[in-house]
Amino acid sequence: MTRAKVPFSCDCGQVHGTINEVAPNRGNLVTCYCKSCQTAANILGYTETLDKYGGTEVFQTVPSKITFLSGDDKLACLRLSPKGLLRWYASCCDAPLFSMPNANWYAIAGVNMARVDAANKDAFGKPVSFHATKSAQNPPIDLKDFGVKRAFVRLTWRALKAALRRDSGKPFFTETGEIAVAPRVVTLEERRAATPD
Ligand SMILES: [Zn+2]
Ligand SMILES: [Zn+2]
């Protein structure tokens, strides 16, 4: 199967680069309806990039498949709690870019599909999973979770292979595995105010 190099960009264009080796069998196209993803979009002011039920579409790959052409110095990191997921965004325009666990031994990056031009979306294939549809906003009756276990297995396999290759997760992590920039941890009040009902 052909693997594409797909451009991504923040909203204002200062942060941009490519997602490499994109193909339907090289990652998972997933929509997550969980409250944390909705809360993060609210805090960063990007609610309009959610789907009509509050879903965030991401392509799950490994960090080493992301290349920055400019603006990696504008990488900022949001956490909804001190140990929460690392939610990378662009400090220039607050656009959400990537989400990943804080563990370079489980190197996974969820590329926010709002950062990819609609014309290039075919390269990612069809959605393979919906997560946390219980937290969707006014969902239709047929909006249900699917593919969660399979997506997780595929993801873990990819993360293990990345760990074996000793991908350090740059530029998100340092060589010694530290988070490359100090994350902004939201306060409990801020999080509560931004959490959907
Ligand atoms: Zn920007
Ligand atoms: Zn989520």
Full DSSP string of 77-134: EEESSTTSPEEEEETTT--EEEEE-S-TTS--EEEEGGGB-GGGGGGG-S--EEE-GG
Is residue 1 very low, low, confident or very high in pLDDT (cuts 50, 70, 90)? low
User: How many angstroms is it from 117 CA to the middle of ligand 1?
Assistant: 15
**Domains in the chain, CATH or no CATH each:** 4-190 (2.170.150.70)
pLDDT in tens, 22-32: 999 899 999 99
- Length of the chain as a residue count: 197
Q: What pTM was computed for the model?
A: 0.94
User: How many angstroms is it from 12 CA to the middle of ligand 2?
Assistant: 24
User: How many angstroms is it from 53 CA to the middle of ligand 1?
Assistant: 26
Whether the pLDDT of residue 168 is over 70: the answer is no
User: How many angstroms is it from 95 CA to the middle of ligand 1?
Assistant: 6
8 A C-beta contact, residue 120 and residue 20: no
